[in-house]
Structure 1
Amino acid sequence: MSVGIIMLVHTALDRAEQVARHWAAAGCPVVIHADVSVPPKTYKAFVKSLSDTDAIRFTRRHRCEWGTWGIVAATQAAAETMLKSFPEVRHVYLASGSCLPLRPVQELIDYLADRPRTDFIESATTADVPWTVGGLDSERFTLRFPFAWKKHRVLFDGYVRLQRRLRLKRRMPNGIVPHMGSQWWCLTRQTLSAILQDPERETYDRFFKRVWIPDESYFQTLVRLYSSHIESRSLTLSKFDFQGKPHIFYDDHLQLLRRSDCFVARKIWPRADRLYEAFLTDEAHAMKRTEPNPGKIDRIFSRAVERRTRGRPGLYMQSRFPNRNWENGLTGAKYSVFQGFAELFDDFETWLARSTGCKVHGHLFAPDRAHFSSGQRVINGALSDSAAIRDYRPRAFLTNLLWNTRGERQCFQLGPMDNQGAAWAMAKDSNAQISVISGAWAVPLFRANRDFSELRAEAARLQKIESEFLDKLRSSAAKARVRVWTMAEFVENPMEPLQLIIDELGAKNARRLTEAPKMMDLTGFGQFLQNLKNQGMHPHLMGDFPTEAATNRPAHHRQRKPYLVKK
């Protein structure tokens, strides 16, 4: 008694020949079906190359287009040839030309000899199948699919919509229950011959010819009518990605395949010389005898699928970059944004870098250029300070900066005079910590030597920009950690919010602040704001700023607390 191998081939015929000889040398007869798409000249040469082996047969050829009946017809033809030509065969194993035996063939023969009445085939009802991709599970049986999905996609989709609209449904012949599973099975001679010789075979064939992907349901359904013992699993290791496409194994998967302990694996890259050399070997150098356990490597495949679909936080993959909101996190690391601090304090950047040890930049989105720390023109990842390059994709500039510098906390200044292209991305980013002194943009205007009419127009423009930015921060979609102070309440007691900021950044010194950055001289600032009001511009973002100097107010004055926006 032996195991018969059916091979469905359509490409890489040199590898198919190599594997077929390996099966035959171990005492397994082989029946090969070559797709009609294989050119006649190539096919004749392939047949001739294997003509010296009596244990190898060829069967009538069919066109095996994905998702169509041709694959089932080819399998039926090969199975009939196998049962007729090799009466000693006990089990029939279906494989493809890209399948590779991972263990000595004798181990497979012995394994099946110990289970003479067992059929190994995935066979689950449509309600229990979690792997269907494309939105068709039970409908693949109740609708008709006369058009090939790959070649005639428009006709395929249109005919499906038409049948749904007309509520057309087919009935299962003879009340059979549809099952689905992997195409690659190993059936006993009794079960396979019962399926092929069924008096109702013509009825079943007629029905499944219009089923979508019948090779995953024909044998999987009919085996339930005749098998006395089904193990609903495949002895072939085959893995699929989240789109339903098979994983291809390359040379660097050698150890992974060894760990699976499976008898056969697909889909092997034809040029994986190392794999073919390692597994098509003698028994002494093969793997140890053990129960097939593909679950041992499932964790690795799950991690690979997760990496492919989710990627790494803050790193944009070319497969998802054009699709908004497909990213796994907007940025790759936590960072802090300060608006109004550099305008209110003379040496804020130097003081913050000294107090926290973070990398503190100036205005990265300034009109002239990106002001990197220490006046650098190019930083990590060859990121240029060019305003033109930055403004082409402001959000990408931000994400590049944070990905290239991950491991070191980045801080930078922002203001209404800066490019606002990345403002909304910052507001939605859970990695962002944004601190705003609203209205502080007026301090540089107060100190500027310009005509007051120009100052009034500029103040109105900047206030509008900052107001829109604050609206983004207060949006229900915002996820950044946000703190906003009006300039008036910040100036009343600057040490408390500065201490809060330093604590959140993880300062080198955990003690209370004893040193603060030098605040700008605001003498006359209140009157400047009043002059803006007198000219018809209402500067409301500064809060209730008094006309007299506000930097030396009594300590007992009642203070308003900053508000915290958490998402």
Structure 2
Amino acid sequence: MTLGVVMLCHAALDRAAQLARHWASHGCPVVIHVDARAPMDQFEGLQSALADLPDIRFSRRSPCEWGTFGIVQATIDASTQMLAQFPQVSHVLLASGSCLPIRPVRALQAHLAQHPDTDFIESVTTADVGWTVGGLDEERFTLRFPFAWKRQRRLFDGYVALQRALRFRRRLPPGLVPHLGSQWWCLTRATLQAILSHPDRPALDRYFRRVWIPDESYFQSLVRQVSTRIESRSLTLSKFDYQGRPHVFYDDHLHLLRQTDAFLARKIWPKADLLYRTFLTLDGDRALAPEPNPGKINRLFAKAVERRVKGRPGLYMQSRFPTRARGGNQAAAPYGVFSGFVELFDDFQPWLARALDARVHGHLFAFDRAEFAGGESVFKGGLSDSPTLRDYNPRSFLTNLIWNTRGETQCFQFGPADEQAIASFMAGDPNAMIFVITGAFAVPLWRSGRSAAEVRAEAARLQKVESDFIALLNRPDARAGIRIWSLAEFVENPAEPLEQLVDLLNPRATHRVTDLPSLTPLQGFGAFLQDLRNQGMAPVLMGDFPADADLAQPHQAPSRPRIVR
């Protein structure tokens, strides 16, 4: 069994020379095609570098533009020369100048000897292809593509749109069933000879000259007509990202490439010296690997694509800013948002920190500064309390705070007197738990000692802001965990809501809440609300708060409430 290698090269010809010498030193004849667009001096340098090896030949040069028939023509020319000048060759491997053998050549030769009549070529019908990008899977065979996609993009797109509008459809050659697959294959001599001498080849070549990316379909389709045994997989590891661009392997992928059972890997960075130095060595002391199976590391690439597209939830950074459409609109961990609680309880923040064993901040989105816990001016991750920096991108400010404190629950206060730009993000964040006491904003106004006439305009403004916030939380697309109480409802039995929020934010806690924060005495607050009404404002968010309310803080721990979800 003799393996011949057809190499298609267009750049980094010094690496191509190194690869060709490696193949030839293991008894593999090599025919090299160099893109006609490559500089002549580089081509002549490649010829000179390999002049001492009699089993290395060069085929007629032709231009190879991506997506056009030029690559197929180059493969046909080099393969024809291979079969004509090396009659001992039993299998032909198609590789590029950046395809690096990552297993011993003798292992590949042994594998082919065990499967002497098998053609290793990925060949899948268009209906079963799930990797094409751009919507042109079946249409690449039914439309005409005379223009180069990279060099003549406007003409390419315009001509495709015109054909679609005219409902133009090409007729397939008789007996041809279009198949797609990887460009890199390994065929037996008999199969390759049958394709190259196909009686309908002139008509087939004319048809495929106007197919888009024919190097992924020409041999993949014709092999179905002449082969007796097809293994629909490639022996070359070739991976593409979600945009259809090939993955490039660098030196730090050495461990990954050692794990795969593929025989070759594409595409290798020309300056990956460690990879070339590691794999282009003598095979004498390298054990044969098991049966090749390039799918072994597919899950690693799938995870890499998912990480590239979706990123890590809650991580917002310059190199990858997640979009809402791809699930990037959330923080990295659960956090609590409290509206109206510090207005009713003087010691709410220290009580909550004890009850939850959490970091409890003040109003992070206050207009004058971000009130970090402990009065810090710079928080973890270098977050400043500057409102200017915070308000430049409120979403990144919050998500960075949550990301930088993973493992520690964060809670903060939020109200109608704060900057509201972050409200829509919190409402749509499934990691947010938002607790709201509506109308509590009026308590500080009442305690300020000013008359209802003096605070009426401010109370009306705050009520409007809070009404908009409540409407946002009640939208059908709100994904946060939300609990809302009116002020009158809350003060009737404050123990039950407080225990609810502790259970929701710390569900693993086994202890019950035995102490409660001190509720601000509200005697006279009902009369204040009536004064606001008399001044022409309608304080509706407080609920049915009686003018003669006689409210006091509970003196004993409550019974455990039922949580209605």
How far does the alpha carbon of each residue in 1:389-448 deviate from its partner, in whole angstroms, 9 at most, with x for none?
A: 111111221111111111100111011000001101111111111111100000111112
After the TM superposition, which of the residue ranges 462-471 and 96-105 deviates more from structure 2? 96-105
Distance 2:105 2:553 in 1: 91
Give the Cα separation in 2 of the matches to 1:554 and 1:514: 12
Checking the alignment, whether the CA contact within 8 Å between 1:491 and 1:550 is kept in structure 2 is: no
1:110 deviation in Å? 2.6
What SS does the aligned partner of 2:247 have?
Answer: coil
Q: CA deviation at 1:318?
A: 4.5
Preserved contact between residue 322 and residue 329 of structure 2 (Cα < 8 Å): no
Q: Please tell me the residue identity of whatever aligns with 2:167.
A: R
Q: Secondary structure at the match of 1:344?
A: coil
In structure 2, the residue matched to 1:266 is 266
AA aligned to 1:465 is V
Stretches of structure 2 lacking an aligned partner (at least 5 in a row):
556-560
Q: In the alignment, which residue of structure 2 is the partner of 1:246?
A: 246
- Rounded to whole Å, the distance in 2 between the matches of 1:543 and 1:549 is 13
Q: CA deviation at 1:317?
A: 5.3
Which residue is equivalent to 1:25? 25
TM superposition shift of 1:197: 1.8
Distance 2:430 2:398 in 1: 14
Gap change, CA 1:406 and 1:361, over 3 Å in 2: same
Q: Which amino acid counterpart does residue 81 of structure 1 have in structure 2?
A: Q
* Percent of aligned positions that are identical: 61
| Structure 2 residue matching 1:482: 3-state secondary structure | strand
Equivalents in 2 of 1:365, 1:554: separation in Å? 31
After the TM superposition, which parts of structure 1 deviate over 6 Å for at least 4 consecutive aligned residues? 561-564
Question: Partners of 2:509 and 2:209 in 1: how far apart?
Answer: 75
Provide the residue aligned with 1:40 in structure 2: 40
* C-alpha deviation, 1:242, in angstroms: 1.7
Residue range with higher mean Cα deviation, 418-427 or 225-234: 225-234
Alignment partner, residue 212 of structure 1:
212
Counterpart in the other structure of 1:513: 513
The 5 Å alignment of 1:23-172 reads 23-172=23-172
Q: What is the match of residue 448 of structure 1?
A: 448
The alignment partner of 2:87 has SS state of coil
Change (3 A) 1:104 1:514: closer
Helix, strand or coil: the match of 2:476?
coil
Distance 1:382 1:310, change over 3 A: same
CA contact (8 A) 2:102 2:263 kept: yes
The whole-number CA distance in structure 1 between the counterparts of 2:295 and 2:323 is: 33
What letter matches 2:136 in structure 1?
L
Q: Is the 8 A contact 2:237 2:262 kept in 1?
A: yes
Displacement of 1:111 = 2.2
**CA RMSD after TM alignment:** 2.0
Give per-residue Cα distances to partners, 1:288-323, cap 9 Å, x unaligned: 242112122122112212211221111135465274
1:283: Cα distance to partner?
Answer: 1.8
Look up the match of 1:291.
291
Shift of 1:509: 6.9
> 2:558 corresponds to which residue?
none
Partners of 1:109 and 1:362 in 2: CA distance: 70
* In 2, Cα distance between equivalents of 1:190 and 1:514: 85
Please tell me the residue identity of whatever aligns with 1:342.
Answer: V
**Displacement after TM superposition at 1:104 (Å):** 2.2
The one-letter amino acid of 2:468's match is: E
State the TM-score, normalized to the length of structure 2.
0.95
1:473 is matched with 473
* Matches of 2:562 and 2:462, distance apart in 1: 22
Distance 1:420 1:245 in 2: 41
What is the aligned partner in structure 2 of residue 524 from structure 1?
Answer: 524
Query: Equivalents in 2 of 1:33, 1:553: separation in Å?
Result: 88
When the two structures are aligned, how many residues end up with a matched partner? 560
CA pair 517-552 structure 1, distance change in 2 beyond 3 A: closer
Residue of structure 1 equivalent to 2:413: 413
Deviation at 1:252, TM superposition (A): 2.1
The answer on whether the counterparts of 1:346 and 1:519 sit within 8 Å (CA) in structure 2 is yes
CA distance in 2, matches of 1:374, 1:443: 24
5+ residue gaps in structure 1?
Answer: 556-560
Matched, 1:255 2:255: yes
CA-CA distance at 1:562 after TM superposition? 11
Equivalent residue runs for 1:285-364 within 5 Å: 285-316=285-316, 318=318, 321=321, 323-364=323-364
Distance, in Å, in 1 between the alignment partners of 2:410 and 2:131 is 43
The secondary structure found in structure 1 opposite 2:343 is helix
Within 5 Å, give how 1:529-544 maps onto structure 2: 529-544=529-544
TM-superposition CA deviations, 1:315-363 (whole Å, max 9, x none): 1354652744334451001000110000111111111112221100001
- Matched to 1:533, the amino acid is R
User: 8 Å contact 2:522–2:552 — kept in the other structure?
Assistant: no
Q: What is the match of residue 173 of structure 1?
A: 173
Whole-angstrom distance in 2 between the partners of 1:511 and 1:320: 42
Distance apart, 1:238 and its partner CA: 1.2
The alpha-carbon distance between structure 1 residues 563 and 458, as it changes in their structure 2 partners (threshold 3 A), is farther
Letter in 2 for 1:100: L
Alpha-carbon distance between aligned partners in 1 of 2:395 and 2:503, rounded to the nearest angstrom: 28
